[in-house]
């Protein structure tokens, strides 16, 4: 069931009504919302509901056992079980085919049968949430929830299929007491949903059907101009498509009385790749940081190990997106670029920047001391934090300011174009197609009939939505709230009619992240 459809609108209207009618009665609300979530997930294929139920029971049993026995081996079994389930459905075919091709080149028979395994929608997202829950129980961040609460957390339909990846410690406390309808931020929810529908239906799908899909399907038949605009177009399409799903999911959750973390924050204005990953798919970035990068040692074990940790994290992040060598290479390029960026920053700081200790204020004495980095500095100093020493602040002058802004914009353009170039690997079905796209980009002059004014307008509008500061949306929300009821109804009805007119004129394609 896809958000921008009449079927989902009818489904959500019924669920929203039942949810608020039953909210004062948790013993009835929880089974009802769980049943609605299973209905939503099983709309395409009811068999996969059993997989979701099995994942819930397995991880709940692991969490309870971990809490009681405090045995790390239980955590290992739980993670291996979750990754094994994900690996079977998502990676078996890729692994078996890769082994078969490698052995075929050596003239050896394939040791593994080539099977076509159907990929359950959203398995990567609910598996990561389950792992996060078990790990948090092991770390003592959260206690095991009642089975029904954990089942609602893992299956809650607004974020079930494509995120955001909500942590148990963020969601489960919201189940302890009934939601208060008077505290629902109605205007924020409505703007998120309508804005998400516009980004998906009006922008992303138009760019995809009229430009990106034809170009990437047969790049050899298109000119350099079409391919160049298609590369930019896909950068806009994937942002509008995925951020639209996140916005709609957050808005739906708000209408039901629940708050999700934000998932995007103007990623294309980032002036470093590190900043980009702090702004793009933020819930996945923090999951990779907390469950892969930091357990590997983070930046605590020296420069080379830090670079290796970045590479491992990003390669695994690429592989999480799909079972293909294009995703592996995409992750590797981002990992290498992050390591290079970190190396260059370290060189710019130079040897003059040392570590010093600064005492914490008394009221912060309970805060753990930061880990010291560098030679000759203790691993921790009670009551102290370790920070880089800075040169004394100089009086600002008028000269360097324009240069600083210029460098910022140059950095933004460099990061944006690196991201756009690597999106080619993300979009291309295989490495051969990606190679054709890059080759045709500079070797195929000619007309560009697919680059129409409508497509260009959609691309520029999508880029504008990715650059608008949050404060503008706050102002818009406040102005909408201060309108009289009549103009509000007219404005929202008109926007909805435009969206569903577009929906009726073309088939709504599944969200890009449905296949992850």
Q: If DSSP codes are grouped into helix, strand and coil, which group holds residue 373?
A: coil
Please check whether residue 105 is in contact with residue 32, taking contact to mean a CB–CB distance below 8 angstroms.
no
Distance of CA 300 to the CA centre of its chain: 26
Please check whether residue 221 is in contact with residue 155, taking contact to mean a CB–CB distance below 8 angstroms.
no
* Residue 142: how many other CB atoms lie within 10 Å: 19
For residue 91, what is the DSSP state? Answer: H
Q: Please state whether 423 falls in left (phi above 0), alpha (psi between -120 and 50) or beta.
A: alpha
Using the structure block, give the residue that is written with the tokens 């979009």: 427
Q: If DSSP codes are grouped into helix, strand and coil, which group holds residue 417?
A: helix
Tokens of 99: 């082994």
The span from the CA of 512 to the CA of 516, in Å, is 8
- DSSP letters spanning 9-75: HHHHHHHHHHHHHHTT-HHHHHHHHHHHHHHHHTTT-THHHHHHHHHHHHHHHHHHHHHHH--HHHH
Nearest alpha carbon to residue 127 among 73, 75, 56? 56
Strands (E), 370-433: 384-388
Using the structure block, give the residue that is written with the tokens 């703007």: 191
Tokens of 292: 């892969």
Active site residue 321: yes
The span from the CA of 67 to the CA of 286, in Å, is 24
Which residue of the set 159, 321, 343, 482 is catalytic?
Answer: 321
Please check whether residue 131 is in contact with residue 361, taking contact to mean a CB–CB distance below 8 angstroms.
no
Angle between helices 453-465 and 224-255 (to 10 degrees): 50
Nearest alpha carbon to residue 204 among 243, 169, 177? 243
Please check whether residue 280 is in contact with residue 41, taking contact to mean a CB–CB distance below 8 angstroms.
no
Tokens of 291: 């469950």
The span from the CA of 371 to the CA of 386, in Å, is 7
Long-range Cβ contact pairs of 118-121 (< 8 A, separation 24 or more): 118/45, 118/89, 119/89, 119/90, 119/515, 120/45, 120/48, 120/51, 120/89, 121/41, 121/44, 121/48, 121/161, 121/514, 121/515
The span from the CA of 426 to the CA of 129, in Å, is 23
The span from the CA of 238 to the CA of 216, in Å, is 14
3-state secondary structure 254-287: HHCCCCCCCCCCCHHHCCCHHHHHHHCCHHHHHH
Tokens of 455: 């497509």
Tokens of 339: 């390591």
Query: Which residues are identified as catalytic?
Result: 321
């Amino acid at each position: 069931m896809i958000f921008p459809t009449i079927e989902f609108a009818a489904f959500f209207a019924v669920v929203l009504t039942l949810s608020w009618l039953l909210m004062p009665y948790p013993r009835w609300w929880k089974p009802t919302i769980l049943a609605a979530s299973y209905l939503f997930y099983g709309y395409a294929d009811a068999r996969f509901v059993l997989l979701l139920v099995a994942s819930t029971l397995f991880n709940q049993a692991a969490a309870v056992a971990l809490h009681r026995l405090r045995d790390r081996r239980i955590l290992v079994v739980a993670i291996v079980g979750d990754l094994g389930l994900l690996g079977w459905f998502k990676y078996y075919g890729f692994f078996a085919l890769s082994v078969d091709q490698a052995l075929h080149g050596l003239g050896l028979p394939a040791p593994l049968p080539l099977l076509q395994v159907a990929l359950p929608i959203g398995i990567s997202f609910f598996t990561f949430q389950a792992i996060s829950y078990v790990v948090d129980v092991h770390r003592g961040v959260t206690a095991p929830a009642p089975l029904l609460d954990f089942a609602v957390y893992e299956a809650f339909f607004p974020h079930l299929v494509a995120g955001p990846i909500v942590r148990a410690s963020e969601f489960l406390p919201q189940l302890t007491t009934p939601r208060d309808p008077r505290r629902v931020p109605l205007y924020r929810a409505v703007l998120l949903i309508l804005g998400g529908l516009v980004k998906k239906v009006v922008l992303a799908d138009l760019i995809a059907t009229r430009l990106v899909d034809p170009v990437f399907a047969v790049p050899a038949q298109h000119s350099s101009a079409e391919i160049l605009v298609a590369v930019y177009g896909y950068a806009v399409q994937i942002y509008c498509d995925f951020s639209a799903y996140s916005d709609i999911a957050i808005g739906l959750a708000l209408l039901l009385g629940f708050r999700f973390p934000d998932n995007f924050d103007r990623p294309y204005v980032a002036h470093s790749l590190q900043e980009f990953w702090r702004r793009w798919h933020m819930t996945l970035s923090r999951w990779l940081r907390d469950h892969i990068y930091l357990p590997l040692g983070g930046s605590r074990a020296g420069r080379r190990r830090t670079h290796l940790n970045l590479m491992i994290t990003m390669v695994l992040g690429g592989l999480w997106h799909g079972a293909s060598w294009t995703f592996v290479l995409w992750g590797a390029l981002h990992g290498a670029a992050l390591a290079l960026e970190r190396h260059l920053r370290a060189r710019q700081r130079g040897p003059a920047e040392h570590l010093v200790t600064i005492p914490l204020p008394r009221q912060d004495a309970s805060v753990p001391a930061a880990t010291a980095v560098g030679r000759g500095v203790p691993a921790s100093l009670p009551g102290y934090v370790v920070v880089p020493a800075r040169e004394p602040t100089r009086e600002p002058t008028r000269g360097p300011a324009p240069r600083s802004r210029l460098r910022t914009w140059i950095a933004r353009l460099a990061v944006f174009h690196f991201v756009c170039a690597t999106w080619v690997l993300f979009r291309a079905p295989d490495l051969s197609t990606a190679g054709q796209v890059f080759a045709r980009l500079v070797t195929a002059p000619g007309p560009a009939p697919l680059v129409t004014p409508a497509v260009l307008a959609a691309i520029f509008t999508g880029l504008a939505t990715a650059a608008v500061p949050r404060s503008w949306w706050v102002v818009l929300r406040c102005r909408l709230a201060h309108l009289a009821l009549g103009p509000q109804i007219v404005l929202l009805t008109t926007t909805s009619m435009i969206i569903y007119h577009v929906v009726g004129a073309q088939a709504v394609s599944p969200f890009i992240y449905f296949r992850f």
